[in-house]
Amino acid sequence: AQSVTQPDIHITVSEGASLELRCNYSYGATPYLFWYVQSPGQGLQLLLKYFSGDTLVQGIKGFEAEFKRSQSSFNLRKPSVHWSDAAEYFCAVGGQSGATNKLIFGTGTLLAVQP
Protein backbone atom coordinates (compact mmCIF):
# COMPACT_ATOMS: atom_id res chain seq x y z
CA ALA A 1 0.00 0.00 0.00
CA GLN A 2 1.12 3.52 -0.70
CA SER A 3 1.86 5.56 2.37
CA VAL A 4 3.96 8.34 3.81
CA THR A 5 5.22 8.36 7.37
CA GLN A 6 6.43 11.39 9.24
CA PRO A 7 7.56 9.95 12.58
CA ASP A 8 7.87 13.25 14.39
CA ILE A 9 4.57 14.92 15.20
CA HIS A 10 6.11 17.90 16.92
CA ILE A 11 9.69 19.24 16.89
CA THR A 12 11.12 22.22 18.74
CA VAL A 13 14.45 23.74 17.75
CA SER A 14 16.28 26.86 18.77
CA GLU A 15 16.64 29.67 16.30
CA GLY A 16 19.90 29.27 14.41
CA ALA A 17 20.08 25.53 15.03
CA SER A 18 19.98 22.97 12.27
CA LEU A 19 16.84 21.08 11.38
CA GLU A 20 16.01 17.70 9.95
CA LEU A 21 12.45 16.51 9.41
CA ARG A 22 12.04 12.86 8.61
CA CYS A 23 9.90 11.34 5.90
CA ASN A 24 9.62 7.70 4.87
CA TYR A 25 7.46 6.44 2.07
CA SER A 26 6.08 3.23 0.69
CA TYR A 27 5.34 3.32 -3.01
CA GLY A 28 5.20 0.61 -5.62
CA ALA A 29 6.58 2.59 -8.54
CA THR A 30 9.13 5.34 -8.99
CA PRO A 31 7.96 8.04 -6.60
CA TYR A 32 7.73 11.74 -7.06
CA LEU A 33 8.37 13.35 -3.68
CA PHE A 34 7.39 16.71 -2.28
CA TRP A 35 7.72 18.80 0.83
CA TYR A 36 5.08 21.41 1.56
CA VAL A 37 4.83 23.99 4.34
CA GLN A 38 1.60 25.26 5.83
CA SER A 39 1.23 28.27 8.08
CA PRO A 40 -1.81 28.39 10.38
CA GLY A 41 -5.03 28.88 8.45
CA GLN A 42 -3.24 28.90 5.13
CA GLY A 43 -2.91 26.64 2.13
CA LEU A 44 0.18 24.67 1.23
CA GLN A 45 3.33 26.12 -0.25
CA LEU A 46 5.71 23.89 -2.15
CA LEU A 47 9.21 23.91 -0.65
CA LEU A 48 10.86 21.45 -3.01
CA LYS A 49 10.31 18.37 -5.11
CA TYR A 50 12.18 15.36 -6.39
CA PHE A 51 11.38 13.74 -9.70
CA SER A 52 14.67 12.26 -10.88
CA GLY A 53 18.37 12.99 -11.20
CA ASP A 54 20.44 14.46 -8.40
CA THR A 55 19.18 13.01 -5.15
CA LEU A 56 19.94 16.19 -3.21
CA VAL A 57 17.41 18.83 -4.12
CA GLN A 58 17.40 22.46 -3.18
CA GLY A 59 14.24 24.33 -2.41
CA ILE A 60 13.04 27.73 -1.37
CA LYS A 61 13.80 29.42 1.94
CA GLY A 62 17.12 27.61 2.31
CA PHE A 63 15.62 24.11 2.58
CA GLU A 64 17.04 21.00 0.98
CA ALA A 65 16.07 17.35 0.94
CA GLU A 66 17.85 14.15 0.06
CA PHE A 67 16.22 11.20 -1.64
CA LYS A 68 17.59 7.88 -0.42
CA ARG A 69 16.01 5.04 -2.34
CA SER A 70 17.62 2.33 -0.22
CA GLN A 71 16.05 3.80 2.90
CA SER A 72 12.79 4.93 1.24
CA SER A 73 13.40 8.32 2.79
CA PHE A 74 13.18 11.94 1.75
CA ASN A 75 14.28 13.96 4.77
CA LEU A 76 14.07 17.74 4.81
CA ARG A 77 16.96 19.78 6.17
CA LYS A 78 17.89 23.34 6.89
CA PRO A 79 21.27 24.37 8.31
CA SER A 80 20.02 27.34 10.33
CA VAL A 81 16.41 27.76 11.34
CA HIS A 82 14.72 31.15 11.47
CA TRP A 83 11.76 32.01 13.69
CA SER A 84 9.64 32.45 10.57
CA ASP A 85 10.12 28.76 9.77
CA ALA A 86 7.68 27.80 12.53
CA ALA A 87 4.86 26.04 10.68
CA GLU A 88 3.53 22.61 9.78
CA TYR A 89 5.51 20.59 7.25
CA PHE A 90 4.03 17.89 5.07
CA CYS A 91 5.82 15.28 3.03
CA ALA A 92 3.93 13.87 0.05
CA VAL A 93 4.45 11.21 -2.59
CA GLY A 94 2.86 11.00 -6.02
CA GLY A 95 2.94 8.82 -9.09
CA GLN A 96 4.09 9.53 -12.59
CA SER A 97 0.85 9.75 -14.48
CA GLY A 98 -2.75 8.78 -14.90
CA ALA A 99 -4.73 7.32 -12.06
CA THR A 100 -1.69 7.20 -9.84
CA ASN A 101 -1.29 10.93 -10.01
CA LYS A 102 -2.84 11.55 -6.62
CA LEU A 103 -0.70 12.91 -3.85
CA ILE A 104 -0.49 10.98 -0.61
CA PHE A 105 0.37 13.12 2.38
CA GLY A 106 2.07 12.29 5.62
CA THR A 107 0.51 13.35 8.88
CA GLY A 108 2.72 16.39 9.17
CA THR A 109 5.38 17.66 11.55
CA LEU A 110 4.71 20.80 13.54
CA LEU A 111 7.85 22.85 13.94
CA ALA A 112 8.23 25.27 16.82
CA VAL A 113 11.23 27.63 16.96
CA GLN A 114 12.56 28.87 20.28
CA PRO A 115 14.25 32.26 20.46
Cβ 76 to other proteins, closest distance in Å? 16
Any contact of residue 107 with other proteins (CB under 8 A)? yes
Any contact of residue 13 with other proteins (CB under 8 A)? no
Work out which of 52, 70, 97, 115 binds other proteins, going by CB under 8 A. Answer: 97
Residues pairing with 112 in the sheet = 12
Region 61-90 residues binding other proteins, contact defined as CB under 8 A: 90
Work out which of 27, 35, 36, 89 binds other proteins, going by CB under 8 A. Answer: 36
Which CB sits closer to other proteins, 6 or 85? 6
- Other C-beta atoms closer than 10 Å to the C-beta of 20 total 13
Cβ 32 to other proteins, closest distance in Å? 5
Any contact of residue 112 with other proteins (CB under 8 A)? no
- Other C-beta atoms closer than 10 Å to the C-beta of 14 total 10
User: Could you tell me if 67 and 53 are in contact, meaning their C-beta atoms sit under 8 angstroms apart?
Assistant: no
Cα–Cα distance for residue pair 87/84, rounded to 1 Å: 8
Report the SS3 class of residue 37.
strand
Cα–Cα distance for residue pair 28/42, rounded to 1 Å: 31
Q: Where along the sequence are the contacts to other proteins (CB under 8 A)? A: 32, 34, 36, 41-46, 49, 51, 90, 94-97, 101-103, 105-108, 110
